Amino acid sequence: MRLKWISDITLYHSGFSPDIEHDSDGEHPPYPPVDVVITDNELHIWVDLPGVQNEDISLYIQGGLLVIEGVKQSHYPQGQRRIFHRVERQHTPFRRTLRLHSPVNENAIFSKLDNGVLHIVIKT
């Protein structure tokens, strides 16, 4: 997974607020879904990303936002005629942002993708 840092970020103070920006039309829940748990000294975020590979995810902080973005690749057979009877799975780029109000040390952010769930830990 690529971990990118923006040099001119502004991180804010005290606390964490939930998702403030997402690509949603208001009728559908934001994608990908997240769970957020705050402990005394850590912020844990779990993100459901089934079928997404490490190399297709970017995680970075920009302007006080934790940004999780990537793409779920399609794996259809190539080089032969294909007739699609049904396509329900998404194979599109995704982006989810969460506002961070606490100062964050970029060296104190850890992430691991396991069985389609991205677990992000931010030490506060």
* Averaged pLDDT for residues 88-116: 85
Single out the residue of 51, 53, 61 nearest to residue 102, CA to CA. Answer: 61
Classify the C-alpha dihedral 84-33-45-21 as positive or negative.
positive
Q: Name the β-bridge partners of 61.
A: 5, 66
* CATH fold for domain 2-73+91-102+111-123: Immunoglobulin-like (2.60.40)
Coil, strand or helix: which one is 56?
helix
Evaluate whether 37 touches 119 at the Cβ level (below 8 Å): no
Q: What is the pLDDT of residues 49-96, one digit of tens each?
A: 998 999 999 998 888 889 999 988 877 777 778 888 887 776 778 899
Domain ranges across the chain: 2-73+91-102+111-123
